[in-house]
Chains A and B, each alone.
Chain A
Amino acid sequence: MSAQPLLSVRELVVDHRVPGGLFAAARGVVRAVDRVSFELAAGETLGLVGESGCGKSTLARALVGLLPWRSGAVRFAGIDVARARGAERSSVRRGMQLVFQDARGSLDPRQQVGAAIAEGLELHRLGDAKERRRRVAELLEQVGLPAESAARWPHEFSGGQRQRIGLARALAVEPRVLLLDEPVAAQDRSVQAQLLNLLLELRERRGLACLLISHDLELVAQVSDRVAVMHLGELVEWGASAELLARPRHPFTRALLAGAVRGEPPSPLAPPPGCRFHPRCPQAVAGCRSEPPPEREAAPGHRYRCIE
């Protein structure tokens, strides 16, 4: 691993304000991401796993600048993202691209596919009109769609094809990090395999680093170098994929792997004291209800937060 990671996230905190109603004051603040730290090396894939609502999509949105963060530090290629201005800011924006979970919602229905893909090129002033057209055709072919698709509209494509368009759009500005939010969850199994193979292909060919966000731990562990498990805003376990898959330590990770998480996560408006997993944990002891769990090392690089 190189001395300096491509992306470094330190103690990141992202809050959501929950409105109380038309005339009421804010009902409260949800800490969607709570002191999350991780690093991503160039060309590496980190899988981020957790249930719906655990904060993983919020984390991705904050990283690409769609949501403000409350505290913490993010460095991309050595640049302090919060302070970056001008050319530095632009290189950060260009260097990290998010592919949305819902390609239907993220494509403008009144914008032709080619224009949607070229948007990033225009924004970052890459090439002239003719070069952009050529580049769009090239990108479409890379994601397995015919070049003629550029003149068609989003509604003419299936869910899997729209996901490919979203991918082409993100790749257009030649990012170094791709953030993928549930890239296959909404697809059929057969389409999932095709999309995943495409991602693997692009990652290997372009040396892209990826943050792969999914609720499917098994899938994530198959295609990631390392995996981080998130529960109610906090990372509870992280380590190399093979190691974590073979020797999961946190009860939440174990339950995810066994497909045996029972019950719904507690409300993030009022997270339980102590370990936030304790109300659903089969191994909870008295201490779990009062003390935040300590961080422990299971193996080099494999760490978890549990009292046991």
Chain B
Amino acid sequence: MSAPLLAVESLGVEYQRGGAWHAAIDGVSLSIEAGRAVGLVGESGCGKSTLAAALLRALPENGRFARGAVRWCGRDLATMSAAELLRWRGREIAWIEQEPSAALDPLFAVGDQIAEGLRVHAGLTRSAAHARAVELLAKVGLAEPELRARARPHQLSLGMRQRVGVAMAVALQPALLIADEPTSALDASLRHAVLDLIDDLRRESGMALLLISHDLRTVAERCDEAVVMYAGRFVERGPAAALLEAPRHPYARALAATRRAAGPLARGERFAALPGAPSALGAVAPGCAFHPRCPLAETECTREVPPLAPDGPGFALACPVVARRGGRR
């Protein structure tokens, strides 16, 4: 069997704050096969974006790799030179951020920005790169792509900018696309349009996807596998649609339950809300990090970090309390 496209092995990432190092990612393992879509779900601050940055070897200055490895087609990224990493980031892997403007230079026409990558990484001539950029803009559904190619980012709507971001990310036909909350700034109609667009591109090119989101439902609709993350650890994983249907970890259950009331609320009725907030860096609760907010917490939960253990075919769960109550049906 060949190596997966991307393999993360017991990865630990730490951030420095106030002179001390604190774990932001605490021993997670993940592999993404070519063409597969994996969704990473959790609240803000759970470590999702840190994991994305670690995969790209683009941690901020106050971050460091504490342990583990990230491999691309079997090769440890730590052994790549800076030049190799640059080439790899340009050609093999692409990243879409939450706010498309972050990836776009306000001073240059968007068509030129797409074309630049094509010239540098794919060696296209100036005119071929421009033609391809226009083609890509048409492909992501912009009307009048010739005209739009000459627009600066501020002349486009938010939805158009996010489409340009997608066009730029997929221009070099990467093997893996990392999309970090690509749609949370968009309203419902644009959200569907952008996710449909990514789906279409995946069908055509066989691109793999790591979709990062705080919404379990979005991940279930778009991904093969879902991974639920809390305080830098994976707490449950499994086939995405089935996991949304029957989440087992109390945290996953809370994520799936939020705001699912049907129809108008009666007077005095409330939304199902998960109390509290995720633990801050350096203040992660001992044992299971979720126990201070967990309705099922027992004394044992405060003592040991529960391991992510197999929980039926294709599933894994890091909650001994739920596991003891019976297996996954």
Binding site for B on A (CB under 8 A): 51-53, 158-160, 186, 188-194, 196-197, 200, 204, 215-216, 219, 221-224, 241-242, 245, 255-256, 259-264
Q: Tell me if B188 and A219 are in contact (CB < 8 A).
A: no
Q: Tell me if B258 and A193 are in contact (CB < 8 A).
A: yes
* Any A CB within 8 A of the CB of B272: yes
Q: Tell me if B259 and A189 are in contact (CB < 8 A).
A: yes
Neighbouring A residues of B263 by C-beta, 8 Å: 221-222, 242, 245
13 extra A-B contacts, CB within 8 A, seeds A219-B259, A222-B261: A189-B214, A191-B44, A191-B277, A193-B271, A193-B274, A194-B275, A197-B273, A200-B265, A221-B263, A260-B192, A261-B189, A262-B189, A264-B160
Q: Tell me if A158 and B44 are in contact (CB < 8 A).
A: yes
* Contact code string B248-286 (vs A, CB < 8 Å = 1, else 0): 000000110011010111011011111101000000000
B272 to chain A, nearest CB (A): 6
Neighbouring A residues of B189 by C-beta, 8 Å: 51, 255-256, 259, 261-264
Most buried by A among B158, B186, B187, B214: B187
Taken together as a complex, chains A and B put the C-alpha atoms of A255 and B185 apart, in Å, by: 20
Neighbouring B residues of A191 by C-beta, 8 Å: 43-44, 277
Neighbouring B residues of A52 by C-beta, 8 Å: 157-159, 186-187, 190
Neighbouring A residues of B254 by C-beta, 8 Å: 190
Say whether, besides A188-B214, A215-B187, A264-B159, A193 and B43 are in contact (CB < 8 Å): no
Neighbouring A residues of B190 by C-beta, 8 Å: 51-52, 264
A194 to chain B, nearest CB (A): 5
- Name the one of A193, A204, A256 contacting B259, with C-beta atoms under 8 angstroms: A193
Q: Tell me if B259 and A192 are in contact (CB < 8 A).
A: yes
- Name the one of A188, A193, A223 contacting B272, with C-beta atoms under 8 angstroms: A193
Neighbouring B residues of A194 by C-beta, 8 Å: 273-275
Taken together as a complex, chains A and B put the C-alpha atoms of A256 and B265 apart, in Å, by: 20
Most buried by B among A52, A160, A197, A260: A52
Instruction: Give 15 pairs: A residue, B residue, CB < 8 Å, sorted on A.
Output: A52-B158, A158-B45, A159-B44, A160-B277, A190-B258, A190-B273, A192-B271, A193-B274, A215-B188, A221-B263, A260-B192, A262-B189, A262-B193, A264-B159, A264-B189
B269 to chain A, nearest CB (A): 8
Taken together as a complex, chains A and B put the C-alpha atoms of A63 and B277 apart, in Å, by: 34
Taken together as a complex, chains A and B put the C-alpha atoms of A52 and B159 apart, in Å, by: 9
Taken together as a complex, chains A and B put the C-alpha atoms of A256 and B191 apart, in Å, by: 12
Q: Tell me if B43 and A223 are in contact (CB < 8 A).
A: no
What is the total number of residues of chain B having a CB less than 8 Å from a CB of chain A? Answer: 35
Q: Tell me if B215 and A245 are in contact (CB < 8 A).
A: no
Neighbouring B residues of A204 by C-beta, 8 Å: 267-268
B18 to chain A, nearest CB (A): 14
Q: Tell me if A192 and B264 are in contact (CB < 8 A).
A: no
Neighbouring B residues of A262 by C-beta, 8 Å: 189, 192-193
B227 to chain A, nearest CB (A): 17
Taken together as a complex, chains A and B put the C-alpha atoms of A186 and B186 apart, in Å, by: 10
Closest-by-CB residue of B relative to A201 is B270
A280 to chain B, nearest CB (A): 9
Neighbouring A residues of B158 by C-beta, 8 Å: 52
Say whether, besides A188-B44, A193-B259, A264-B157, A256 and B188 are in contact (CB < 8 Å): yes
Closest-by-CB residue of B relative to A51 is B187
B244 to chain A, nearest CB (A): 13
Say whether, besides A158-B277, A160-B277, A221 and B264 are in contact (CB < 8 Å): yes
A41 to chain B, nearest CB (A): 15
Neighbouring B residues of A189 by C-beta, 8 Å: 214-215, 255, 258-259
Taken together as a complex, chains A and B put the C-alpha atoms of A101 and B77 apart, in Å, by: 41
Neighbouring B residues of A53 by C-beta, 8 Å: 157
Most buried by A among B258, B263, B264: B264
Most buried by A among B43, B188, B258, B263: B188
Neighbouring A residues of B259 by C-beta, 8 Å: 189, 192-193, 196, 219
Taken together as a complex, chains A and B put the C-alpha atoms of A197 and B214 apart, in Å, by: 19
Most buried by B among A191, A204, A242: A191
Neighbouring B residues of A159 by C-beta, 8 Å: 44
In B236-253, the 8 Å CB interface with A consists of none
Q: Tell me if A222 and B258 are in contact (CB < 8 A).
A: no
Neighbouring B residues of A200 by C-beta, 8 Å: 265, 270
- Name the one of B186, B188, B272 contacting A259, with C-beta atoms under 8 angstroms: B188
Taken together as a complex, chains A and B put the C-alpha atoms of A159 and B184 apart, in Å, by: 14
B194 to chain A, nearest CB (A): 11
Neighbouring B residues of A160 by C-beta, 8 Å: 277
Taken together as a complex, chains A and B put the C-alpha atoms of A168 and B187 apart, in Å, by: 27
Q: Tell me if B277 and A197 are in contact (CB < 8 A).
A: no
Neighbouring A residues of B272 by C-beta, 8 Å: 193
Neighbouring A residues of B188 by C-beta, 8 Å: 215-216, 256, 259, 261
A261 to chain B, nearest CB (A): 3
Taken together as a complex, chains A and B put the C-alpha atoms of A158 and B46 apart, in Å, by: 13
Taken together as a complex, chains A and B put the C-alpha atoms of A41 and B160 apart, in Å, by: 39
Taken together as a complex, chains A and B put the C-alpha atoms of A81 and B160 apart, in Å, by: 38
Q: Tell me if A193 and B273 are in contact (CB < 8 A).
A: yes
Q: Tell me if A222 and B277 are in contact (CB < 8 A).
A: no
Closest-by-CB residue of B relative to A244 is B264
